[in-house]
A and B are shown apart, each in its own frame.
Chain A
Amino acid sequence: MTTPTPSAAQAATVPATTAGRLPEARQPVRTPSPGSTAALRRARRTRVLHWIAVHSTAVALALAFVLPFVFVFLTSVMSDRQAMSGELWPTSWHWDNYATVFRTPGFLDWWRNSLMYALLGTLFTVCSSLPVAYALAKFRFRGRRTAMLLVISTMMLPPQVIVVPMYLVWAQQFHLSGSLWPLIIPMAFGDAYSIFLLRQFLLTIPKEYIESARVDGCGELRTLLRIIVPMAKPGIAAVALFQFFYCWNDYFGPQIYAAQNPGAWTLSYGLESFKSAHSVDWNLTMAATLLVMAPVIIVFFFAQKAFVEGVTLTGVKG
């Protein structure tokens, strides 16, 4: 990287970039000259200071990011009385708060509904979006650009723009309000965001693979399933994860379609009513909150790589 310069004035600019190095890393001295030892010592000291500054900032910031989880957890195991006191550390550990949450009427139904919404939604979205993304990435046809523009426009649109007429259709024509089906069924017809992400990923697969499959007499659908799907696994995994998280976190959708029927509530939606019903029991609410957070965070730790890949895909490879 940088070579130490004899001049003290210039040496002062060095540390900032080499700061990443561990403090004990030695700089080779190339040009010894009278003033250089002092300059070097100063440079190394600045480097150490810089290392300390960067790492202590990171530690402080990490604390700020992690502490909310810690406080939520500590409160979730407090006694009812202590949870209202503003004390930070539990005097006695009430693990049974979690059992109480699970015994709350409806809580298990919310789990089941959330899982159904997230799993079916993800399955439908991936199956319906993949062929569309493949066509947009690899077929040449007139109107391809327009189609892509329309996909991106739908992706950008707030769901509230079309929600009123959509609700009327589901409620008045199909009598499906009070269930999650009005949210799940449309996912069998392609989701703009997933189509966009999958297309971005499929663009990175060289055309030659598809052409050679064609030469071997492989039909388009077979090419997609046998050649493309195995190669696009990371992209598909990322899209599936995003969709799973989207469904799991969705609040607006269940509020519109499932509000009247507590039997169809999801965890994300039910949590708020849980808080309302246990307005003073912060300990139970915090236990429920952690139980809503837990699945996504566990899924994340198992699929970290696919996830980060997906986030990068949205922004950087575009």
Chain B
Amino acid sequence: MALSLSPGGAGGVDPRLRRKKARDRLRTVGFLSPWLVGFSVFFGYPLIATGYFSFMHYNQIKQPEFVGWRNWSYVFTQMPLFGPALWNTLWLVVVMVALRVVFGIGVGLLVTKLKSGIGFFRTAFYVPYLAPPVAATVAFVFLLNPATGPVNELLSKVGVHAPNWFNDPAWSKPSLVMLSLWGIGDLMVIFMAALLDVPKEQYEAAELDGAGPWARFRYVTWPNITPIVMFAVVTGVVQTMQYYTQALVAGKLASGVTIGPGTVIQPGYPDHSTITVPQLVYQLGFQNFNTGAACVLSLVLFAIAMAVTILLMRRSSGLLSAED
């Protein structure tokens, strides 16, 4: 990254000014240095290495061996779990992000409409977001356990035929969505702040025009919170692309595997319905020691994440230019 030769650095400038410029440059580099090192060593290098290994056959013991596009064609045409993993990740990106945004706006609206007990309700809706993902997943696998879980116990008392949740391929992803909706706290806080920022006068004007609740939401609230909705969607997509811990833990625990972590199990229980692309990277790279294929998948993930990031940059350049 070029850190500027100042304009007008040509001859004939006061040497004192030039010295100051040089000092400023040194100062800037000094302050940025932790990140300059971190960025090149912990980001630039591994990214290039990922590209390199994607063309190598490497089992992490013998020397890497160049194999051309073979890893790529293997991943895209032969690898049995690539299809399900991609499908599950896309499913989660679409359904989970959409429902989280809608639910986040809903809960945010509800809390802003409350007149008593706001503090209590806000805390109640927020705290589950803080539960560590592994702990929250263990708790949900227990709560939704078909045999003895309290949820199905309660449902059967009121005569509802409850599904098998994490043990049913059709319900495992919706169960993960429920888990993610329980942790809506972050979005709720963001949307609450956005909703409270909507100018009161606009609501009053809309009322005078006889706008009902829906019309007020559609023509006053919505246009005011669209930037925040955009932000929530994009960050949600990025987070869901990395969706790993909950899906892995839920699958493992629900399958009743009684051996410790690190053991090779068929991932994505039940029926590959919870395997995601990041899980596949882990499986290929750290269980099958197929470094090449793992790196191909990493690059696929990278490409999608970059596309989403570029979208974010274009839609909210405010992130960058907040000062000038």
Contact = CB atoms under 8 A, between A and B. Distances in A.
A62 B125 contact: yes
Interface string A127-169: 0110110111101011101111111111011111111111111
Contact of B32 (A65, A142, A147, A279): A147
A86 B153 contact: yes
Given A62-B121, A135-B32, A156-B309, A255 B261 contact: yes
A129 B35 CA distance: 7
A151 B313 CA distance: 12
B167 interface: no
Most B Cβ at <10 Å: residue of A55, A142, A156: A156
A13 B114 CA distance: 19
Interface string A180-202: 00000010111100010000100
Interface residues of B, number: 120
A286 B294 CA distance: 35
Contacts of B257: 276
A131 to B, nearest CB: 4
Contacts of B238: 156, 158
B128 A65 contact: yes
Given A61-B125, A62-B125, A286 B261 contact: no
Contact of B34 (A129, A152, A282, A290): A129
A260 B262 CA distance: 8
Nearest to A88: B150
B169 interface: no
Report, nearest first, the 6 A-B pairs whose CB atoms are least far apart: A189-B38, A142-B4, A165-B49, A162-B46, A190-B35, A135-B31
Interface of B: 1-6, 24-25, 27-28, 30-32, 34-35, 37-39, 41-43, 45-47, 49-50, 53, 60, 107, 110-111, 113-117, 120-121, 123-125, 127-128, 130-136, 138-140, 142-143, 147-150, 153-154, 182, 186, 189-190, 193-194, 197, 203-204, 207, 210-213, 216, 228, 231-232, 235, 238, 241-242, 244-245, 249, 252-253, 256-262, 277-278, 281-282, 285-286, 291, 294-295, 298-299, 301-302, 305-306, 308-309, 312-313, 316, 318-320, 322-323
